[in-house]
Amino acid sequence: MGENAEFGKIRSVLWPIHNFELKKFLPMSFLMFSVLFVYTAVRDLKDVFVQNYAALGGTEMIAPLKGIFVLPTSLLVAMVFASLVSKFGMQKTFYIVVSFFATFFFVFAFFLFPNANKIHWSAETMIRMKEHSPGFLCYIIPCIGNWAYSLFFILAETWGSLAISSLFWFFANQITKKTEVNRFYALYSLIGNIGVYFAGKTTEQMSKIEGKGAAEFDKNVKLLISTAVVFCIISMILYYYINKVVLADPKLYDPSQVKPKKKKAKVGFLAGIKIVFSNKYLFLIFMLPICYGVGMNIYEGIFKAHIKAMSKDPNDTGRVMGQLSQITAISTILLTFLSTYILRTFKWKYAALVTPVAFIALGTVFFLLMIHGKMGGTHFLGMSVPVAALWLGMIVDAFAKGIKYCLFDTTKGIAYRPLDPETQAQGQGAVEIVGGRGGKGLGAIISMMFTSVMFPGSKLLDHVYSFFALFLVILVSWIASCNGLGTLYEKKVAEAEGKN
């Protein structure tokens, strides 16, 4: 309270930064901006490559990419990252990791992408392979045949988890003083989301090309990826400056005042399953990321398939992805302030229920609109059904992602507080390993079951009714988990207060 006493009411909310702290706060903010700009730029492009460039590609490639390729890669990268930190220390590891990604993005833009037709399998080759292969390989074959696009997709996904969590936030936790945490962290996220907005705006602008098709978009791919590479370099310059200049100032960095990093128990995947299934409270926490991951994957499968159906060429897909990133950034910024009010005003259960209740309500309208179109409906609120579904889909997707960053992750973290230190450490490690990765993997497997196992070669839009039913089941399970966990949470908090 004393730290903020000199700020007025408005400044204490909007800009609680002392002038002498700008030397530290601004470089860290621009570092967050740079990391999220790169993440958004490559995230938007990865979907364009899979949807519009890959031979025999489309939205159906995303599920095997996420379920079969991204998950193992993320585990491998986590092990390599830990090994690098152990051998070289955090500073050198930062430069090694960012340099690797910057190099790959550059090589992709100027060598792999222009020669994709030469280095990838032909459509005819993949068709022949499909004819002599089991049905479940029907969308795995294009993933392998279009290996450069798949590699870009995998590394774009990996950059998101590695650069944001392991590089930026790990660094921030190391150098941020206890008195700065509450004031700095929210603003880091806000400024970072400005980076998301500008990257989305850049993608949208380069996609506003009428009548020139993919040829002009090809040139702009190089421009956008080059910009992402420049921001990778900027991030390394900022990191160097912070370490050499900012941390040398005792007013800005004092190791004794840095918020201690909580030790997380190292939990293997199988051990994590045993932990979460042997404790009802941890199982209910585990259900939260599982339901979010599966529900989001089911929803996005239909939404992105609709984007593909609405797109004539890469410009259309790029424009939508750019607009989606902008809406996500704006909604995240607005929801940051709303979530702060919700957490201060309501009990844990009601704060936790906001995400699934809002998601099921908005998602249901989207699915009903898609079903309305399949049944022959042509207009909704003065717009054609496909256009209305596209805009509503973007709003739902942006809201679901924004509310996850602002409220879902926070309430999930709060749920561990009533547990004893050992259970909390083991439980959090287990839920992160099994729940976080398992949700995405299970969602991808469900999509593959429909398009590659039960109905080999079918399209995601052929299964709108089934996906809607699954979406409802998953979201209702999520709501039930929040209700049950909320009751147990209040009991444990009361027990802890009684002991004190």
Give ranges for CATH 1.20.1250.20 in the chain. Answer: 269-500
Contact between 235 and 98 under an 8 Å Cβ cutoff? The reply is yes
Reading the block at residue 198, the tokens are 């500008």
Cβ distance 185 to 28 under 8 Å?
A: no
Residue of higher predicted confidence among 154 and 167: 154
Measured distance CA(44)–CA(156) in Å, rounded: 9
Residue 17's pLDDT is: 86
What integer is the mean pLDDT of 236-247?
94
Give pairs for 3-8: CB < 8 Å, separation 24+: 3/179, 3/183, 4/183
Give the residue, 433 or 115, on which the prediction is more confident: 115
Candidates 188, 251, 252, 260; CA nearest to 33 is: 188
CA distance to 149, 152, 364, 390, 474, per residue, from 310 (Å): 21, 24, 20, 8, 27
pLDDT score, position 2: 47
- The residue count of the chain comes to 500
pLDDT at 259 over 80: no
Q: Over the range 473-495, which residues count as b (16 or more CB within 10 Å of their CB) and which as e? A: ebbebbbebbebbbebbeeeeee
- Specify the pLDDT at position 90: 87
3-state secondary structure of 267: coil
Under the banding of pLDDT at 50, 70 and 90, the label for residue 296 is very high
pLDDT at 352 over 60: yes
Residue 383: in which H helix or E strand, if any? strand 383-384
| Helix/strand/coil for 379 | strand
pLDDT grade for 270, boundaries at 50, 70 and 90: low
Position 198 scores a pLDDT of: 93
Per-residue model confidence as pLDDT tens digits over 182-197: 788 878 888 889 999 9
Helix axes 437-448, 71-88, angle to 10 degrees: 150
What is 33-47 written as a DSSP string? HHHHHHHHHHHHHHH
Least trusted range by pLDDT, from 7-11, 80-84, 110-114, 202-206: 7-11
Q: Which of 3.50.30.60, 1.20.1250.20, 1.10.150.120, 1.10.260.40 would CATH assign to domain 269-500?
A: 1.20.1250.20
User: Using CA atoms, how far apart are residues 142 and 145, in angstroms rounded to an integer?
Assistant: 5
199-234 pLDDT, tens digit per residue, is 999 999 888 765 455 677 888 899 999 999 999 999
Cα dihedral 48, 52, 58, 59 in deg (nearest 10): 30
The CATH number of 21-261, from 2.60.120, 1.20.1250, 2.40.50, 1.10.1760, is: 1.20.1250
State the Cα–Cα distance between residues 419 and 427, nearest whole angstrom: 9
For residues 448 and 415, give the distance between their C-alpha atoms in angstroms, rounded to a whole number.
Answer: 33
Q: Cα(165)–Cα(289) distance, rounded to whole angstroms?
A: 17
Decide: 314 and 186 in contact? Cβ < 8 Å. Answer: no
How high does pLDDT run on average in the chain? 87
Residues 478, 381: Cα–Cα separation, whole Å: 31
